[in-house]
């Protein structure tokens, strides 16, 4: 499925990304990952599909990058790098991880604040969901503050899994705060529809994560001494099909609380 941007914006406005919903093996409720094309950059080609082929053929692709290297975001990197002969970018601190997950040796690297080529796209470090997670701010000239390709930082409804060993709750909260304060008009997530209320959505996700943390801490204070006991006390919903994700999330919260000195080593975090 291809979801195009609105009719052509004024010439001085940031371009609106083209979204292609790619069916892929993912735990996201949508069953798809969003690939994006904007200003010659292809972001998160999750797999090769006819729809993404058509979008790539319709728009020039000079560069390829991913928000992070989870399998449901990178499956088409090698295919489209070969198909387009585009320059492939990777996070400078995670080149080996990128190479292992994509099978591609990157042509160039980026760090927080870098601009990719001449495309008016700026890299924002947004670790937490994954250690190599970034977002891409799109604009022209110095105006790169309206559209953000945010990967798995945020979703329009529901929440984002932040679980061990990949996730870091403290980093995730800091990334949400950074994006909330940046004043973006829209977020374009890795799964699901565009987010037209970035500040409200980021705050909702922060509040959700902190509420879960309070329940985890309360469970420990009430005597829960291992992950299973905390899980039972901190979740009151049906976890059928997602219990492994909930357990990984509990571990991530326990790691944060331990690092902050709010729980002690009597709690088994394994």
118 pLDDT band (50/70/90 cuts)? Answer: confident
Q: Is the pLDDT of residue 88 over 50?
A: yes
Query: Does the structure show a pLDDT above 50 at 2?
Result: no
What pLDDT is recorded for position 6? Answer: 37
Whether the pLDDT of residue 192 is over 60: the answer is yes
Q: Does the pLDDT at position 254 exceed 90?
A: yes
Top pLDDT among 254 and 10 is at 254
pLDDT surpassing 70 at residue 50: yes
pLDDT band at residue 4 under the 50/70/90 scheme: very low
Q: What is the pLDDT of residues 166-183, one digit of tens each?
A: 999 999 999 999 999 999
- pLDDT reported for residue 1: 45
Query: 14 and 140 in contact (C-beta within 8 Å)?
Result: yes
Concatenated DSSP letters of the chain: -EEPPSS---TTSPPPPEEEEEE-S-SSTTSEEEEEEETTEEE---S--HHHHHHHHHS---EEE-S---HHHHTTHHHHHHHH-PEEEEETT-HHHHHHHHS---SEEE-TT-B-TTS-EEEEE--SSSTT-EEEEEEETTEEEEEEEEETT--SSS-----TTT--HHHHHHHHHHHHHHT-SEEEESSSS-BS-HHHHHHHHHHHHHHHHHHHHHHHHTT--BHHHHHHHH--S--TTTHHHHHHHHHHHHHHHHHTTSS-TTSB--
How much is the pLDDT for 166?
Answer: 94
Q: How confident is the model at residue 117 (pLDDT cuts 50, 70, 90)?
A: confident
Of all residues in the chain, the percent with pLDDT exceeding 70 is 93
- The Cα–Cα gap between 48 and 51 comes to 9
pLDDT(255) > 60? yes
- Per-residue pLDDT, averaged over 106-111, amounts to 97
Distance CA 10, CA 52 (A): 26
Gap between the Cα atoms of 66 and 43, Å rounded: 5
Contacts 24+ apart (CB under 8 A), 238-244: 242/27
Query: Is-contact 31 20, C-beta < 8 A?
Result: no
Longest CA span, the chain: 61
Specify whether the CB–CB gap between 115 and 121 falls below 8 A. Answer: yes
Give the domains, in start order, of the chain with CATH numbers.
Answer: 2-207 (3.60.15.10), 208-259 (no CATH)
């Amino acid at each position: 499925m291809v979801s195009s941007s609105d009719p052509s914006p004024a010439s001085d406005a940031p371009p609106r990304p083209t979204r292609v919903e790619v069916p892929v093996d993912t735990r996201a409720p949508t069953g798809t990952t969003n690939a994006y094309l904007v200003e010659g950059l292809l972001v998160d080609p999750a797999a090769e599909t006819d729809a993404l082929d058509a979008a790539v053929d319709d728009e020039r692709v000079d560069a390829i990058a991913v928000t992070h290297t989870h399998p449901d975001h990178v499956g088409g990197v090698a295919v489209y790098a070969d198909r387009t002969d585009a320059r492939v970018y990777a996070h400078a601190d995670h080149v080996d991880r990128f190479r292992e997950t994509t099978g591609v040796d990157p042509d160039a690297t980026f760090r927080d604040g870098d601009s990719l080529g001449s495309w008016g796209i700026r890299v924002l470090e947004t670790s937490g969901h994954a250690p190599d997670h970034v977002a891409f701010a799109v604009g022209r000239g110095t105006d790169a503050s309206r559209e953000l390709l945010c990967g798995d930082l945020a979703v329009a409804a529901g929440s984002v899994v932040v679980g061990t060993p990949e996730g870091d709750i403290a980093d995730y909260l800091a990334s949400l705060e950074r994006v909330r304060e940046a004043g973006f008009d829209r977020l374009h997530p890795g799964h699901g529809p565009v987010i037209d209320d970035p500040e409200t959505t980021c705050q909702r996700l922060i509040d959700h994560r902190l509420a879960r943390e309070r329940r985890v801490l309360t469970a420990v204070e009430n005597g829960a001494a291992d992950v299973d006991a905390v899980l039972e006390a901190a979740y009151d919903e049906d976890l059928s099909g997602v219990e492994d994700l909930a357990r990984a999330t509990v571990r991530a919260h326990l790691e944060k609380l331990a690092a902050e000195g709010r729980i002690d080593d009597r709690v088994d975090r394994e």
